Amino acid sequence: MRHGLIYLASPYSSGGEMSMDEYYEEAVRACEYLINSGLSVWSPIVYCHMISIAYDMPKDFDFWCSYCLPFLRKCDMFLVLAIPGWNKSTGVSKEMDIARELNLQIMYAVPTKDGRYRITSVAPSLSAQVSS
């Protein structure tokens, strides 16, 4: 995997499988793992969730898109946190479109049963979102 700045995309308000707090916790866990693996990662969910809660700010992608776009443009890799709802998330889908326009490497972080993440260039099938 190429090193550099990684943008971690994950579902939040439109994934539909978990609450926003649960999506936030999943993103925090993934960031912890990636940081402890020596990678530089930026997650809009980890960074913005508590701010949006504390100050009753909008939670939708359209509000946050213009804020997050400069960070995405600075990144070398687009990493999708492949947790339930990633494939239904409006934000992840739109961010992925932007990442493609920017010719960023697109990878997937698939949670494993032992609490780690398998990083792959192949989009996980919907039936195998947690691998062994």
Domain boundaries defined on the chain: 5-84+101-120
Confidence band (pLDDT; 50, 70, 90) for 14? Answer: confident
pTM given for the model:
0.90
pLDDT score, position 98 = 96
CATH of region 5-84+101-120: 3.40.50.10400
pLDDT in tens, 87-106: 999 999 999 999 999 999 99
Q: Which secondary-structure segment (H or E) carries 97?
A: helix 90-101
Task: Answer whether 91's CB lies under 8 Å from 49's CB.
Answer: no
